[in-house]
């Protein structure tokens, strides 16, 4: 028997009143999703990441196929979304916006690596081979230069750092 923890509202992430009522406008088209299923889809995508359609189906939306789940997610995040209610649509749009900001910000780099990059720049300036050798040996020189350029672009105060202490 399946355990449905994902269906239970929690204090940190309660179901909205909208998802607890039936919205007949969400049952339109080939793929029928209720507001609750839309909410579960969004929670699963936040937890597992978009593109993990098979896992989302097996762990959260067992009554749907991976193709249906992917289609619904694409439908809910498209620019001309007129399928669902506005509150549901805004949640998916906000998820898409925040995930893009997160991808642009992180670029697969850990916080401590940025700190090491700052320290290396403070000691060696733009002598990237020395920064790499003494502070971030597991990253390539081009990666360090690219990350530094990214940090300067996003943070104008980085440009004001002294090249050497």
pLDDT tens, position by position, 96-114: 777 777 666 666 777 788 8
- Of 106, 129, 146, the domain-final residue: 106
Cβ atoms of 4 and 43 closer than 8 Å: no
Range of the domain at 127: 111-160
Give residue 96's pLDDT: 77
Do 19 and 86 have their domain in common? yes
Rounded Cα distance between 34 and 39, Å, is 9
State residue 4's pLDDT score: 45
In this model, does residue 47 exceed pLDDT 70?
yes
Q: Does position 28 have pLDDT exceeding 60, yes or no?
A: no
Please indicate, yes or no, whether residues 44 and 100 belong to a single structural domain of this protein.
yes
Q: Dig out the tokens for 92 from the structure.
A: 């998916």
pTM score over 0.95: no
Residue, of 158 and 94, whose pLDDT is higher: 94
Domains contained in the chain, number: 2
């Amino acid at each position: 028997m399946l355990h449905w923890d994902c269906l239970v509202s929690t204090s940190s992430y309660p179901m909205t009143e909208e998802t607890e009522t039936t919205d007949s406008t969400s049952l339109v088209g080939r793929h029928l999703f209720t507001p609750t299923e839309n909410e579960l889809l969004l929670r699963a995508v936040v937890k597992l990441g978009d593109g993990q359609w098979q896992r989302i189906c097996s762990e959260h939306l067992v009554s749907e196929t991976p193709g249906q789940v992917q289609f619904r997610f694409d439908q809910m995040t498209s620019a001309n979304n007129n399928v669902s209610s506005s509150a549901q649509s805004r949640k998916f749009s906000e998820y898409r916006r925040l995930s893009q900001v997160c991808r642009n910000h992180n670029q697969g780099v850990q916080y401590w690596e940025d700190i090491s990059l700052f320290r290396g720049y403070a000691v060696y300036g733009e002598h990237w081979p020395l920064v790499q050798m003494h502070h971030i040996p597991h990253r390539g020189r081009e990666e360090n230069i690219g990350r530094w350029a990214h940090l300067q672009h996003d943070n104008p105060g980085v440009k004001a750092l002294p090249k050497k202490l």
